[in-house]
């Protein structure tokens, strides 16, 4: 079964540092997403991406965040200057074109110290 | 409101049925989903239901949808210790590309 792959599985970074979280969506999928889950809380939508541009973003997705699909296979989330409150599990998801096809990666746990 | 709501915790004995409840807000939601998250793992799609259905059964899983009350439930028959996990209800919200809105998750504890 095709998978969405995320790396690294766990990243520890110092406050103020830049981090890049990486995802490889399923190859024929067209829509890409980042979600995050602060420990013990809901999974929250961050951003969606289609046709090489952001389609929708939440209030959480401020100027510190950016996404990119640099080479047609990877999909990255960059946090420019991390804050303690950015500590969370970040999930990448992709779909082809149907509502039922959301596939999530296993997540990257980001810890900001 | 924008929230999808779930009870936080459910404890059952092995072999019993589990029923996890969820209320959602968007009456135009076309799809509703149940995801399972095991400790330290990602989100695994368990099942989904289309809004024109009242019920969907898939092996030990039964999903019931009450559109009038915006209430969704997941019944797990013959619950096993391997079913211990967090269960998330999610609704599809249409938009430019659509997105999922999740509940806060129900922790299911299965006692032997």
Nearest to A42 among B92, B96, B104 (CB): B104
Which residues in chain A touch residue B97, judged by CB atoms under 8 angstroms apart? 31, 33, 48-50, 55-56
Share of chain B above pLDDT 70, in %: 98
Alpha carbon distance A25, A79 (integer Å): 19
> What is the band of B98 on the pLDDT scale with cuts at 50, 70, 90?
confident
pLDDT exceeds cutoff 60 at A25: yes
Give how far Cα B80 sits from Cα of B11, B14, B61, Å.
Answer: 12, 5, 12
The chain-wide mean pLDDT, for chain A, equals 92
Nearest to B97 among A42, A44, A50 (CB): A50
Distance from CA of B43 to the nearest CA of A (A): 6
Q: If you ran DSSP here, which 8-state letter would residue B21 be given?
A: E
pLDDT of residue A86: 97
Dump pLDDT digits (tens) for A58-69.
999 999 999 999
Question: Which residues on chain B place their C-beta less than 8 Å from a C-beta of chain A?
Answer: 30-31, 33, 35, 41-45, 48, 88, 90, 92, 95-105
Q: How many residues does chain A have?
A: 113
Alpha carbon distance A76, A68 (integer Å): 5
């Amino acid at each position: 079964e095709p998978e969405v792959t995320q790396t690294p599985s766990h990243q520890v970074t110092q406050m103020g540092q830049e981090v890049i979280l990486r995802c490889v969506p399923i190859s024929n999928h067209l829509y890409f997403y980042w979600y995050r889950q602060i420990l013990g809380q809901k999974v929250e939508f961050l951003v969606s991406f289609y046709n090489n541009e952001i389609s929708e973003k939440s209030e959480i997705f401020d100027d510190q965040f950016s996404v990119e699909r640099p080479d047609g296979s990877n999909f990255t989330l960059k946090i420019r200057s991390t804050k303690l409150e950015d500590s969370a599990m970040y999930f990448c998801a992709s779909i082809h074109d149907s509502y039922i096809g959301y596939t999530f990666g296993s997540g990257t746990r980001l810890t900001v110290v | 409101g924008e929230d999808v709501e779930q009870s936080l915790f459910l404890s059952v004995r092995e072999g019993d049925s589990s029923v996890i409840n969820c209320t959602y807000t968007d009456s135009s939601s076309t799809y509703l989903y149940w995801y399972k998250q095991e400790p330290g793992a990602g989100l695994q799609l368990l099942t989904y239901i289309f809004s024109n259905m009242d019920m969907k059964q898939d092996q030990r899983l039964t999903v019931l949808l009450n559109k009038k009350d915006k209430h969704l439930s997941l019944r797990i028959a013959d619950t096993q210790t391997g079913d211990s996990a967090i269960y998330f209800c999610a609704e599809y919200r249409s938009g430019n590309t659509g997105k999922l809105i999740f509940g806060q998750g129900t922790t299911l504890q299965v006692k032997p």
